[in-house]
Amino acid sequence: MTDTISLKDFWAWLAEHTNCILRLGTPDSILYDDDDYHWRFSQENPRTLLIQLMRGKRMVGEVFVEPEMITSVRVSPGEKDDVIFDLMSEADDQEQVLYYFVMAHGLEPDERSRHDRLH
């Protein structure tokens, strides 16, 4: 089953589930979670979201997301219980994945119904 949600809804949910991120990828790179790592989120400016993978106080890697480029977030099953959240962009009537998050779980049923009530 494939579903879509807005970046705003996904980002709010993701901020509450940072310990559930298994990996974060772009077309050029992948950041893998580890027991020694933690994820840090911030907003550099109104047009840039920042995700950093940290080991203690040292940065392992970072990804900048430009929200205006994201048209939707596609949710689909991954391997086993993993769930993939693809941050989609559209240009010249072609969809492409700009970023993806592989999560240990997806939206819970009560979170889905809350999302549906808001839209």
80: CATH: 2.30.29
Total number of domains constituting the chain? 1
- CB-hemisphere CA count at 13 Å for 63? 20
Of all residues in the chain, the percent with pLDDT exceeding 70 is 89
Identify the weakest region by mean pLDDT among 43-47, 54-58, 83-87, 97-101.
Answer: 43-47
Inform me whether the pLDDT recorded for 23 exceeds 80.
Answer: yes
Residue found under tokens 């072609």: 94
Asked if the model's pLDDT at residue 119 lies above 50, the reply is no
Within 13 Å of residue 46, how many CA atoms lie on the same side as its CB? 0
Q: Which residues pair with 38 in a beta bridge?
A: 54
- Report pTM: 0.86
Compute the average pLDDT of residues 28-33.
Answer: 96
Residue 92 region, left (φ>0) first, then alpha (ψ -120 to 50), else beta? left
CA neighbor of 89 nearest in space, from 106, 64, 67? 67
Q: Which domain holds residue 39?
A: 3-118
Rounded mean pLDDT of the chain? Answer: 89
Identify the pLDDT of residue 110: 60
Q: Which residues of 53-62 are buried (b: 16+ CB within 10 A; e: fewer)?
A: beeeeeeeee
DSSP 70: -
